[in-house]
């Protein structure tokens, strides 16, 4: 049993190579252990003091969000809210104020829950994960990182250090909405993120949509080219159809598969609607769920 406080990424990776699990906010690890999901690991390495992992700034080909950036930071960071609004929408819905204050983006991504809130926005933005291992750093596309519920393709001795987000284009907007049964301490029943770039005539030039809690991982919706050239209402309706068709939800305590399939279409429609309106310059405050009275709002 050991507890290491890492002062550098190298120290963290070394401890992980010796079997330690990284801990930052602990909102998944500790809560999961107390729920009996899985016991706390014998060996832990605290990464919360790696200051360079807590920064938001320029990165290769766009912007870089450190793995230790908290949900509370993301939801109010002016740069994120302006350029990657869906990520702020998602961060603002996570857990409770205390969860958001200590829970990190890196933790949310590596916990790899199919119901995670930040995953669908990241997928829509085409984000990539930067991971550090004993042999150095490498970049992993998110759809290759997430391999199933709670599993990733990262090795046990690889540490997520940042998410790289491509530069946003002009006339773009994004949004994340989820179905929720209450306004705090909630997990997405289903969710959808949309990123949209508008043509000069206001129709959709390009769009991407990703879904939460309807598959073993966060999934991108295929065939969103079908939205190109459509005006807002038609684009949103098309996204709804694509989302419902492509979802492969399960039935569990939170919802039946058929209700999830229906609702993920509703969420996709609303995400595309809000993303288009933001792209057109309308100000819709973060999170969309509260601003537009979606779900329990």
Partner 1 sequence: MSLNEAPKFVRADGPDKVTGSGRYTADMNMTGQLVAKFRYADVAHARVTKIDVSAAKATPGVLAVLTAADVPDLRYSPVVPDRTLFVKDVVRFEGEIVAAVAAVNAATAQAAVDSIVFEYDGLPVVTDLEAALADGSPIVHEGWESYGVSGDTVQRPNVASFSSIEKGDIRAGLAAADHVITSRYVADASHALPIEPRAVLAQWEGNKVTIWTSTQVPFDARNGVCETLQMPSSRVRIIVPHLGGGFGGKCGFHFEAHIAALARASKRPVKLVFSRREEFLAPDRRREGMIVDITTGVTNDGTITAREGWIAIDNGAYTADAAFFPQLAAMHVAGPYVSPNVFVESSLVYTNHQPSGSVRAPTAPQACWALESHTDEIARTIGMDPVDFRRKNTVDEGLEGPAAQVYGEIGLRRCLETAVANSAYGSQLPENEAVGVAVGWWPSFPGPSGAYIKVDADGSGQIITGAQECGTGSVMTLRYLAAEELGMEPEDFELVYQDTSAAPYDTGATGSQTLLNNGRAVIEGAREVAAQLRDVAADQLEAAAGDIVLADGFAHVSGSPDRNVSIVELAGIAAEGEMLIGKGSGTPPDYPTVSATCVGDQGVAGWAGPQFSCHAVRVRLDRDTGVVRVLEISAAHDSGTIINPIAAHGQVEGGITMGIGQALSEGTVYGDDAKQRNAGLLEYKLQTAADAPLVTTEFIEIPDPNAGPRGAKGLAEAPNVPTAAAIANAVAQLIGEPVRQLPMTPERVWAVSEGSSS
Counting residues that bind partner 1 (by CB under 8 A) gives: 23
CB 132 within 8 A of CB 11: no
Q: Cβ of residue 276: shortest distance to partner 1, in angstroms?
A: 18
53 binds partner 1 (CB under 8 A): no
In whole angstroms, how far apart are CA 111 and each of 19, 33, 55, 68, 104? 17, 13, 20, 14, 11
Out of 194, 255, 268, 272, point to the residue binding partner 1 (CB under 8 A).
255
Instruction: Count other Cβ atoms within 10 Å, centred on residue 11.
Output: 15
Residue 187 within binding range of partner 1, rule CB under 8 A: yes
- Least gap, CB of 296 to partner 1 (angstroms): 6
Nearer to partner 1, 269 or 277 (CB): 269
Q: Does 139 bind partner 1 (CB under 8 A)?
A: no
Asked whether 263 and 167 are in contact (CB, 8 A), the reply is no
Say if residue 82 is exposed, middle or buried (CB neighbours under 10 Å; 0-12, 13-18, 19+): exposed
Choose the stretch contacting partner 1; rule: CB under 8 A; options: 82-90, 163-171, 197-205, 252-260.
Answer: 252-260
As measured in angstroms, the least distance from the Cβ of 164 to partner 1 is 32
Please identify, using beta-carbon distances, which residue of 3 and 181 lies nearer to partner 1. 181
Which of 1, 36, 58, 78: binder of partner 1 (CB under 8 A)? 36
Containing 211, the helix (H) or strand (E) segment is strand 204-212
Partners of 195 in the beta sheet? 174, 208
Nearer to partner 1, 64 or 260 (CB): 260
What DSSP letter does each residue of 283-294 carry, written as one string? --PSPHHHHTT-
Taking Cα atoms as reference points, which of 107, 213, 79 lies closest to residue 163? 107
Give the interface with partner 1 as residue ranges (CB under 8 A). 35-36, 179-185, 187, 253-256, 259, 262-263, 266, 293-297
């Amino acid at each position: 049993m050991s507890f290491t406080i890492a002062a550098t990424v190298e120290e963290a990776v070394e401890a992980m190579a010796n079997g330690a699990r990284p801990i930052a906010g602990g909102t998944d690890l500790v809560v999961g252990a107390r729920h009996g999901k899985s016991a706390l690991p014998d060996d832990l390495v605290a990464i919360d003091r790696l200051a360079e992992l807590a920064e938001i700034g320029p990165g290769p080909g766009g912007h870089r969000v450190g793995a230790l950036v908290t949900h509370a930071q993301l939801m109010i960071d002016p740069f994120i809210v302006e350029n990657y609004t869906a990520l702020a929408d998602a961060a603002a819905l996570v857990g409770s104020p205390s969860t958001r204050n200590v829970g990190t983006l890196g933790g949310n991504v590596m916990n790899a829950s199919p119901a995670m809130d930040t995953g669908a926005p990241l997928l829509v933005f085409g984000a990539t994960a930067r991971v550090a291992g004993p042999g150095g750093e490498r970049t992993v596309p998110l759809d290759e990182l997430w391999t199933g519920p709670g599993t990733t393709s990262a090795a046990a001795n690889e540490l997520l250090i940042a998410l790289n987000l491509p530069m946003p284009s002009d006339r773009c907007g994004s949004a994340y909405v989820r179905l929720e049964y209450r306004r705090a301490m909630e997990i997405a029943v289903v969710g959808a993120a949309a990123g949209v770039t508008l043509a000069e005539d206001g129709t959709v030039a390009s769009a991407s949509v990703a879904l939460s809690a309807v598959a073993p991982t966060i999934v991108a919706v295929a065939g969103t080219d079908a939205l190109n050239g459509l005006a807002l209402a038609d684009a949103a309706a098309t996204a709804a159809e694509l989302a419902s068709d492509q979802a492969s939800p399960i039935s569990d305590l939170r919802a039946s598969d058929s209700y999830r399939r229906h609702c993920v279409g509703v969420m996709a429609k609303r995400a595309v609607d809000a993303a288009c309106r933001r792209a057109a310059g309308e100000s819709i405050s973060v999170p969309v769920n509260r601003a537009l009275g979606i779900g329990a709002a």
